[in-house]
Amino acid sequence: MYTVLIAENEPWVLKGIVQMVKTAGEEFEVVGECSNGEEAWSMIQEVWPMLVITDIMMPELDGLSLIKRIAEHRIPLVSVIISGYDNFQYAQKAMTYGVSDYLLKPVEFETMTEALNRSKEKLESLKDLNDYIVKFQSLLDNSQGLAVDAVMHKQRQFIESILRLHLLNRNARVGLLNMMEHKLKNLMNEFGLDFTDVPKYQSGDDASTLKYYMTLLEKWYLGFPGTPKTSMPAAIAESCRYIDANYKTNLSLTDMANLTNFSVSHFSALFKKHTGSSLVSYVNRLRVDEAKKLLRTTSYAVSEIADIVGYSSTPYFTRVFKALAGVAPLEYRKRMGS
């Protein structure tokens, strides 16, 4: 399964691209739809897609700037640019950032399908890396309430497994470490935790690299508030009630920002600050909790349960379920004796 995030500011064009990707093959799963570059950047760090398809002209952060930011952070993903301009300089600059394809509007279904097929070889090489990303997010999401020693032991094992990647793919290792660092520092900033006293590791020195990330993780975990220290703003409380009632539908950061009259970035930061979770993680936990209930109390097939709780792809649902529950859905049902 190749996870795809699509960024396009024109709603009708966005809808069309989403439909094209879904029709191109069941191995492609759309996990995010964004209307601007900043929202796309925030969502990349939440859902960590394998493929990003982005328009070049968007508000807040344009497509080229988004691709440049991805390249600078060496995030391991494949990117495709869509543009209304047959501009050689745009295309040339996009290629310097490692863009897989540069498509001109209006994009025909055949053109999109060919681009997706061309990306498969690169995407296949990212599968194992994507598993690392999902596991890291799971470790962050499921560490609350655990003993410090237990959390640090799991994180040490995980970081050591990434450090061993240099034997196969040094760029992959650097990209994963950069993503982890960016994620942790964002979390710490949002909760007012200071990390400026943590000395940067020496590149190529595994011991100092391990120490650096373990120190960051320990600071985050020890400083993470179990409950918010300030009362939850009414807008965020209302958002939570709305999400609790509508988590089975497609909910985007843009939708929720519009509901609260906040910007996408401001809503995202406030929501995480007061719930301790990103919007995607919050929704996934609600869906997985409902899926657990259905697995225990019904005889529905896993594909039916995936659809009921809001996932259009059974493989993607299984992956999310396993990341949060620790076992695959059928194994969970078996253990629960249903």
Note whether 225 and 276 are within 8 A (CB). Answer: yes
pLDDT of residue 145: 62
- pLDDT computed for residue 108 by the predictor: 94
CB 296 within 8 A of CB 290: no
Residues 167 and 207 in one domain: yes
H helix intervals, the chain: 11-24, 37-47, 63-72, 88-96, 109-141, 148-163, 170-190, 206-223, 234-246, 253-260, 264-275, 279-297, 302-309, 314-325, 329-336
Backbone dihedral angles phi then psi of residue 106, each to the nearest 5 degrees: -75, 135
- Whether residue 25 lies inside any domain: the answer is yes
Residues 96 and 172 in one domain: no
Is the domain of 33 the same as that of 121? yes
Q: What pLDDT score does 162 carry?
A: 82
Name 32's bridge partners.
Answer: 5
- Looking at the domain assignment, is residue 135 inside a domain? no
Instruction: Please state, rounded to an integer, the average pLDDT across all residues of the chain.
Output: 84
Q: Is residue 260 part of a domain?
A: yes
- Report how far residue 113's alpha carbon sits from residue 105's, in angstroms, rounded to the nearest whole number: 14
Task: Dump pLDDT digits (tens) for 244-301.
Answer: 899 999 888 888 988 888 888 888 888 887 777 788 988 998 999 899 989 988 999 9
- What pLDDT sits at residue 304? 96
Pair (6, 119) in one structural domain: yes
Report the length, in residues, of the chain: 338
The conformational region for residue 36 under phi > 0 = left, psi -120 to 50 = alpha, else beta, is: beta
In the prediction, which pLDDT does 144 show? 65
Residue 101 in domain: yes
| Domains contained in the chain, number | 3
CATH of the domain at 13: 3.40.50.2300
The sheet carrying 51-55 orders its strands as 28-34, 2-7, 51-55, 78-83, 101-104
> What does pTM read for this prediction?
0.62
Q: How far apart are CA 126 and CA 50, in angstroms?
A: 7
The answer to whether residue 132 sits within a structural domain is: no
Same-domain check for residues 216 and 239: no
Confidence at residue 169, expressed as pLDDT on a 0 to 100 scale: 62
Residues of the chain with pLDDT under 50: 167, 227-230, 338
> Which residues constitute the domain of residue 321?
234-336
